[in-house]
Structure 1
């Protein structure tokens, strides 16, 4: 592993520069203490990095869990939420032991893309008040914009109310706009101009500029007060440093809401990790394949430790992983070293961290959210047709309306299943009529490879519409499975066919049989599973 230190060390510095503002920003978006984001980043780098089977994946607090964490902390309280994180980690260990690393493949890509897009939109909407330096208690003049229920939409309307009323901090808005300009310029222009702009990342530059802005303007009209800055504890001794850590409340171990939250964290964290693993393996120039079950075990261990000492949930993160790959990282050493850099930063420079404007972190998260919810994603999903568009939009809209990620995924999955069942219903058979206007016309019906009870209604309707004094050719050459419900329909049709003078020609791998006495006996001797 140490053979690649010449490449892994520079890569770890880049990942640290990317991770530091993201750890703080995601904690901000989650409504959690900012120190908790740093804890998760440290454990994600050192512990998960050491246990993971991925050479280039980097773990830490994830934007994808911010919506869940925000709701959970609000409803449970922070110490009870930490217990849910520990429970989530234990469930992830169970997932790994049961070899459930393939669970990500059971969710339609339209639902997963909808989940990521919904998360991106929620992150953007949640940062508006920090970007403009709003006071949460401020009420604007445009009260007609407020609604009677409390959810993400109502919060957005209240923020619009405050904006229209001019209840913003000009200094926070200025540095927020400057930070966005730096991030866009860095990613779209400067990063392509030379290696120095790839080594020094845009988020770090935005943070440094934000600190300089605060120091220069703090006594002026455009200055920021403490409520607009990062706030992490500044220890003055080893004991005070240890006192920064928060521990879970095991007294609520029997609370069902804690367990539901824990399972939600485990499921979403596992899905996001597995999706990231798939993406990073594709980006890996050496095309290494990450063992997914081992990754679940590593992530579960990391989440247990993070929850035990006050950290946010952890997943493998595509932003940090891709930065690691682009910077030349070759082994897990780069992820581990970046974790140690984060640890050193909270010990040596907490005072400096507390001079970072929240508006700068909001700007970083605006870019993160935009990358998750690009307009091009909506366009691409729409171009794929309604079968992809419907589950995608159902997931996005329900997540935004309710703020509940699991509910959004559940609805998207339900819509996806409905689409599959509908297409299965429509594609159960192929019907072709010859001489439709002729009484003795020939009708050909070809059954699909697998025909289940979902297809019963469609096939029954077609058989009932077969006219008297005609011939029905039933083709089962490609059919591998027939549900018993379909066999019963065909058996009943044999009796009706005799009464209506309908001749039946059955075409199968065994050959051609006219007017069979029984479909059941015939299919038992064929290669069709019943």
Structure 2
């Protein structure tokens, strides 16, 4: 682990600079105590980083889970109740790991995963716009019985705080300029990250405008991390789960949702970071699930947010030259030191600056160009993607993913129905129209309707060549259809020639002969 310490230490500083404001910002977006985001960052670095088999992946609180956390804290009756779900989610992830479920991410269509991330990005943007303008009231999404996000967005004009808005705009400008221009000018601008500079400017702005009534930022619009006076008061900041609610079915539903989404996001991030890694390391996915599960159990027990491997931190680690897990571990230690030694400094950060950072995060998740790209790929990708996005934004994350998966399955069934066989007219032989039907490699009961319809449409007094040489799986339902057709074909004077890899059968009375002629793999 210490072999590449000269590369890992500078990279860990960069990741720390990126992670600190994001930990606080994601906690803000989640409606959780801000300190909970830092706890998750510390555990993601030290615990998960130590157990993971990934050399360059970095874990911590993820923007992708913010919507779940925000909703769940309210529905479960408080943050301590929610922590029970986090602990159970970690245990479920351990189970995933022991069951070798590391390939689970491959069974979700990429269109649904992209839709999930895009929907989350849109929610983050909607949630941070009020904070950006200094309007920090908490509200729900699109609830017809209460004031919704859209309703509150319309009220922002009446509650704009000039100081918060100004430093939010300045912070957003710094982030964009740093990302688009300065980061390409020299290594110093890659070591010192834009989010850290934006936060530093925010602190300076707050300090200089305290005596200016028109620009002053009040405490309600600043980060609020508890300031410990001693070791006892520091440990008092940690929250602990209320296990008395463990029998509540809603706790288990939220836990399974967190476990599933966190595992998916982690596995997708693992795939992405392995592709970005210039050294082409391969992360053991089942071990990663075990590490993430352990991290979430520990995080839930001490008051932290749910943890996943995070692409923003991981990519920053790769770009900064990180070579081993030491980088992730040291970044967690730096987070721990910062909340012990400089909590007062953290409490001078304007919330609008964190909102600016999260607006960038949300935009990167929900880029307009992605909608165009998905549309250009074709309707089979665009429709599940769009349904997932709309479901997440207007209902909730679980419904959105479920709707997207349902639409994705329907698309597969439609294409399966269409691609079961190929039929074309070859010529006329002995006065009979000659037709050839070639069955697909796999023909299941999904294809019954298409094949039955095609066979019923065959003209009388014709000749059918049924080619099954490419078929490796034929469902018994299809065999029954062929058995029935063999009987009907005689009545309609249709001659049949069955062609397989082992020979040809003329006018079979029973397709049991087909089983004898098919390859053993069928």
Residue in structure 1 matched with residue 22 of structure 2 by the alignment: 22
Asked whether the equivalents of residues 162 and 168 of structure 1 are also in contact (C-alpha less than 8 Å), the reply is no
Asked whether the equivalents of residues 128 and 159 of structure 1 are also in contact (C-alpha less than 8 Å), the reply is no
3-state SS in 1 of match to 2:88: helix
Residue in structure 1 matched with residue 237 of structure 2 by the alignment: 244
Q: Residues 40-94 of structure 1, C-alpha deviation per residue, up to 9 Å, x if partnerless?
A: 0000111111111111111100001001111111111111100000000011111
CA separation in 1, counterparts of 2:415 and 2:504? 29
CA separation in 1, counterparts of 2:447 and 2:99? 34
1:51 correspondence with 2:51? yes
Q: CA deviation at 1:155?
A: 2.7
Asked whether the equivalents of residues 44 and 59 of structure 2 are also in contact (C-alpha less than 8 Å), the reply is yes
3-state SS in 2 of match to 1:57: coil
3-state SS in 1 of match to 2:423: strand
Residue in structure 2 matched with residue 124 of structure 1 by the alignment: 125
CA separation in 2, counterparts of 1:449 and 1:62? 42
Q: CA deviation at 1:435?
A: 5.8
3-state SS in 2 of match to 1:127: helix
1:213 correspondence with 2:214? no
Q: CA deviation at 1:286?
A: 1.2
Q: CA deviation at 1:528?
A: 6.2
Asked whether the equivalents of residues 97 and 287 of structure 2 are also in contact (C-alpha less than 8 Å), the reply is yes
- Worse overlay, 476-485 or 82-91: 476-485
CA separation in 1, counterparts of 2:448 and 2:348? 67
> Which stretches of structure 1, 4 residues or more, deviate above 6 A after TM superposition?
none
Residue in structure 1 matched with residue 90 of structure 2 by the alignment: 89
Q: 2:340 aligns with which of 324, 330, 347?
A: 347
User: Residues 309 and 147 from structure 1, CA distance in 2 versus in 1: closer, same or farther, beyond 3 angstroms?
Assistant: closer
Residue in structure 2 matched with residue 508 of structure 1 by the alignment: 500
Asked whether the equivalents of residues 426 and 434 of structure 2 are also in contact (C-alpha less than 8 Å), the reply is yes
Q: What are the ranges of 5 or more consecutive residues in structure 1 without an aligned counterpart?
A: 139-145
Q: 1:359 aligns with which of 352, 370, 375?
A: 352
The number of residue pairs the alignment matches comes to 518
Q: Which aligned pairs between 1:363-378 and structure 2 lie closer than 5 A?
A: 363-378=356-371
Residue in structure 2 matched with residue 143 of structure 1 by the alignment: none
Residue in structure 1 matched with residue 67 of structure 2 by the alignment: 67
CA separation in 2, counterparts of 1:328 and 1:522? 61
Q: 2:176 aligns with which of 161, 177, 184?
A: 184
Residue in structure 1 matched with residue 137 of structure 2 by the alignment: 136
User: Residues 206 and 158 from structure 1, CA distance in 2 versus in 1: closer, same or farther, beyond 3 angstroms?
Assistant: same
Asked whether the equivalents of residues 482 and 528 of structure 1 are also in contact (C-alpha less than 8 Å), the reply is no
Asked whether the equivalents of residues 500 and 517 of structure 2 are also in contact (C-alpha less than 8 Å), the reply is no
1:431 correspondence with 2:423? yes
Residue in structure 1 matched with residue 486 of structure 2 by the alignment: 494
Q: CA deviation at 1:150?
A: 5.1
Q: Residues 409-442 of structure 1, C-alpha deviation per residue, up to 9 Å, x if partnerless?
A: 1111111111111111100010102469x97311
- Worse overlay, 21-30 or 102-111: 102-111
User: Residues 301 and 440 from structure 1, CA distance in 2 versus in 1: closer, same or farther, beyond 3 angstroms?
Assistant: same
Q: Which aligned pairs between 1:27-426 and structure 2 lie closer than 5 A?
A: 27-76=27-76, 77-136=78-137, 149=144, 155-163=148-156, 165-220=157-212, 221-402=214-395, 404-426=396-418
- Worse overlay, 483-492 or 503-512: 503-512
CA separation in 2, counterparts of 1:456 and 1:495? 17
1:523 correspondence with 2:515? yes
State the TM-score, normalizing by the size of structure 1. Answer: 0.95
CA separation in 1, counterparts of 2:142 and 2:250? 27
- Worse overlay, 125-134 or 1-10: 1-10
CA separation in 1, counterparts of 2:62 and 2:221? 23
CA separation in 1, counterparts of 2:138 and 2:485? 72
3-state SS in 1 of match to 2:432: coil
User: Residues 137 and 312 from structure 1, CA distance in 2 versus in 1: closer, same or farther, beyond 3 angstroms?
Assistant: closer
CA separation in 2, counterparts of 1:250 and 1:135? 31
Q: What are the ranges of 5 or more consecutive residues in structure 2 without an aligned counterpart?
A: none
3-state SS in 1 of match to 2:438: strand
Q: CA deviation at 1:122?
A: 0.8
State the TM-score, normalizing by the size of structure 2. Answer: 0.96
RMSD after superposition: 1.7
Q: CA deviation at 1:509?
A: 1.2
Q: Residues 372-424 of structure 1, C-alpha deviation per residue, up to 9 Å, x if partnerless?
A: 1111211111111111111111111100001x212211111111111111111
Q: Residues 503-528 of structure 1, C-alpha deviation per residue, up to 9 Å, x if partnerless?
A: 11111112222211211233234226
